[in-house]
Amino acid sequence: MEEEERSAEWRTFSVSDESCRYRVTAKEYVQTSSLGDCITSGSWGTMNGMYFSTKDRDNDDWSGNCAAEIRNGGGWWFARCGVASPTSPHVTTSVSYHEVLSWQSFHPGVWVVTPLSKLEMMVRRDVTIPHH
């Protein structure tokens, strides 16, 4: 079975250095992207402007520590744990979307969680993407 490939792109995407706790900044989501935007919008809050959280550094907006939760698998720019779980394990059994590698996106009228089999993040250095 061939897997479907999707992508998400932002015209501006940057991560600050350690002194600023690796804060993520994303702007101008490219609307023709096929995965959806859960970095600058999300039903549980936005990850844009969040500091990177790890099991020993809680920088999320939740009362607990999203990165320490076993279901989330590790570090990420968590808002309130539920928008994306890209560091969670890939599983094929039916479990809560919080427990699997997943990404949330808005489709007209409803938020949809897409389970993923893998996730690759790539950042281009100082590249200007033309507006369409």
Query: Domains in the chain, ordered, with CATH?
Result: 10-115 (3.90.215.10)
Q: Please answer whether residues 22 and 51 qualify as being in contact, where contact means their C-beta atoms are separated by less than 8 angstroms.
A: yes
For residue 23, which amino acid is it?
R
Handedness of CA 4, 116, 123, 79 (dihedral sign): positive
Residue 42: the pLDDT is 63
- Is the pLDDT reported for residue 45 higher than 60? yes
Checking if the pLDDT of 58 tops 90, the result is yes
Calculate ∠ Cα 65-69-74, nearest 5°. 90
- What is the pLDDT averaged over residues 12-39? 89
pLDDT of 1 higher than 50: no
More confident residue, 87 or 14: 14
On the 0-12 / 13-18 / 19+ scale of CB atoms within 10 A, 31 is: exposed
> With pLDDT > 70 as the criterion, what percentage of the chain qualifies?
73
pLDDT tens per residue, range 62-79: 888 888 875 656 788 888
pLDDT of residue 47: 84
- Convert the pLDDT of each residue in 100-129 to its tens digit: 677 777 666 777 777 777 778 887 776 555
- The pLDDT of 3-24, averaged and rounded, is 89
Question: Quick check: 51 and 44 in contact, CB under 8 A?
Answer: no
Radius of gyration of the chain (CA): 15
